[in-house]
Amino acid sequence: MTYKLIKEPMFNKINAVKYYESGSPEVKIIPFDPANTDYQEYLEWVAAGNTAEAAD
């Protein structure tokens, strides 16, 4: 599985992270909201020493 940061173009601000698995057509775009459980899982993944790919 892979996380990649997303920079929103209107305000030029990183506001989400994309989650995807190799070979799977499903993509999640996860907001930076502490109450969002996908974001909580992302933070756990980061806390485990991982780093998301940089935004384009």
Partner 1 sequence: MSTLKVNAIRGTGASSDAISVNSTDGTCTAKITNNLSNRNKVINGNMQIAQRSASVVRHANGDPQMQTLDRWGLWMAATGGAINMSQSTESPNGFSNSLKLQCESTDSSIASGDLISLGQGIEAQNLQDLGVGTSDAKQITISWYMKAVNPKTLTLNCYFPDATNDKWFNKNFTPTTSWARYSVTLPASTGGVINNDNGNGFRLGFTPFCGTTYSQSSDSTAWSATEKYAVSGIGNFLDSTSNILYITGVQLEVGDVATDFEHRSYGDELARCQRYCQKITKGDNNHYFGAGYYYNATNIYMQFRCCPQMRTIPTLVQTTGSNYYNFYRNGAGDSFDGFTGFQWMDGTDNAGVSGAFYVNSGVSGTGGQAGGFFSSNDACKILLSAEL
Contact by Cβ (8 Å): 39, 33: yes
Reported residue count of the chain is 56
By CB under 8 A, tell whether 33 contacts partner 1: yes
**Which amino acid makes up residue 20?**
Y
Closer residue to partner 1 (CB): 33 or 53 = 33
Give the binding-site size for partner 1 (rule: CB under 8 A): 26
**Tokens 């980061």 found at:** 46
**Tokens 């190799």 found at:** 22
Q: Which of 2, 3, 12, 29 binds partner 1 (CB under 8 A)?
A: 29
Q: Which stretches of the chain bind partner 1, using CB under 8 A? A: 1, 6-11, 15-16, 18-19, 21, 25-31, 33, 35-39, 41
